[in-house]
Structure 1
Amino acid sequence: MRQSANRNKLIMNVNRRSSISEGYRNIRTNIQFSGWNQKLQVLAVTSTQAGEGKSTTISNLAVAYAQEGKNVLLIDADLRHPSLQSIFNVPNRLGLSNLLAEQCAFGDVVQTTVVENLSLVTAGSVPPNPTELLSSDRLQEVIDGWKPVYDIILIDTSPVMAVADGLIVSSVCDGVILVVLSGKVKREYIQKTKEKLELAKATILGVVLNQKKYSKSEANQYRYYGHQ
């Protein structure tokens, strides 16, 4: 049952014509427009706290880019609570943490997925020192090593208010998307998250409001435009 539930999180791969899939394509398009005057190749997705849907969002966004024909690398940099291996149903024996600790080579951690054009690097072994690993110069070296190979690199990070890990990763990316679970996160927490990201010199590209409830007329209008 868990395997099936995780597969269903990849709505972009299950039902490309759904209104939710159209929403992810809209996010992809908005990112492309926001980067018209700058190169946005390495993007992070984070949230204020756990359980806001950042991993589901970045996974479907990665599929959206791959379906467009882009060569995509999706990285799980949430070293404390990794989840992408479950969503894509792949092993997590070696991953980013092992690469950062120089326990393996680049080729050992990149896995193919069921989605054409989409490769995945899981988080790997849970290290005793995630913040230290991520804050080393090695992270930038690793990202730079993948830049010539992939059109776009998407990085899942830890929630900003929980630990510093997400701030560290966001600061070395070209931009960051903040996922907010509608109606569940206090406004002041979101404001503090924004301030922390800005202090880390991260470029905030926008906010994804997750599980927003629409009125019946709004939902009908969205479905109409989503199926043209």
Structure 2
Amino acid sequence: MVINKKKKQTAAKKRTLITSSYPDSIISEQFRMIQTNIKFSVAGEDSKIFLITSPSDGEGKSTTAANLAITIAQQKEKVLLIDANLRKASLHTFFKTSNSNGLTDVLNGRISFYDAIIHTEIGRLDLVTSGTVANNPVELLSSQMMRDLLKTALRSYDVVLIDSNAILDVTDTKLLAKQCDGVVLVIQNGKTKFEKAAEAKKVLEFAKVKLVGVVMNQ
């Protein structure tokens, strides 16, 4: 049996961005619950920047970040989704866009923050891809330029979501987490070992970063 590659890619995209393709689905409702739970956890606080990470790679954090961003945008809030996974970027593939210019290019001073913004097909949701491959992700993500970028973003957006590398894999995620108001930890059911999840929680506590939610990814 021959499967049309284009149809297969389209189907894969629909499964990935299910909150956009199937907003009335059970999974989409679960993302709305996640959004509500995050709001409750930061009630009364001026919390707008959230990091999405996981204990290890391949647990669905990028898919979670994209769908959560769409869900928030659907609730009439202006959202900026940033791909700060400078080692294994993927958000540009979800939204079928170029990754030729992005976060690294802003942090290296090659383009302005506003030139890096991509307006997605989802109303109120903008994207900044990871950009040109960088040899110094730790330096870039912990730089004053990164802090300034986030401050600039808050002038135009209600919520900023950052997709990052796995927190137990590299140092830059820990440094980036300290610049955020809270962290959402994604763990995959059946894959994430209890020890890894506990270690990730301990790392966040040691860094004095607020854990605003844990998402169990099926």
Q: Give your verdict on TM over 0.5.
A: yes
3-state SS of paired residue (2:105)? helix
Separation of aligned partners in 2, 1:83 and 1:162: 17
1:157 correspondence with 2:164: yes
Identify the residue that residue 44 of structure 2 maps to in structure 1: 37
Contact 1:7 1:87 in 2 (8 A): no
1:56 to 57, 63, 68: 63
2:135 to 111, 128, 133: 128
Superposed CA RMSD: 1.0
3-state SS of paired residue (2:109)? coil
Identify the residue that residue 220 of structure 1 maps to in structure 2: none
1:210 correspondence with 2:204: no
- Structure 1 stretches (4+) deviating beyond 4 angstroms? none
Tell me the CA shift for residue 3 of structure 1: 3.6
User: 5+ residue gaps in structure 1?
Assistant: 212-228
Given the two structures, how large is their TM-score scaled by the length of structure 1? 0.90
Given the two structures, how large is their TM-score scaled by the length of structure 2? 0.94
Identify the residue that residue 93 of structure 2 maps to in structure 1: 86
2:201 to 194, 206, 210: 194
3-state SS of paired residue (2:73)? helix
3-state SS of paired residue (2:67)? helix
1:116 correspondence with 2:123: yes
Tell me the CA shift for residue 88 of structure 1: 0.5
Separation of aligned partners in 2, 1:28 and 1:56: 15
- May I ask how many residue pairs the two structures share in their alignment? 211
Identify the residue that residue 146 of structure 2 maps to in structure 1: 139
Q: List aligned pairs for 1:165-176, cutoff 5 A.
A: 165-176=172-183
Q: Which amino acid aligns with 2:216?
A: L
Tell me the CA shift for residue 7 of structure 1: 4.0
Worse-matched range after superposition: 199-208 or 169-178: 199-208
Tell me the CA shift for residue 37 of structure 1: 2.0
Tell me the CA shift for residue 159 of structure 1: 0.2
Separation of aligned partners in 1, 2:14 and 2:108: 30
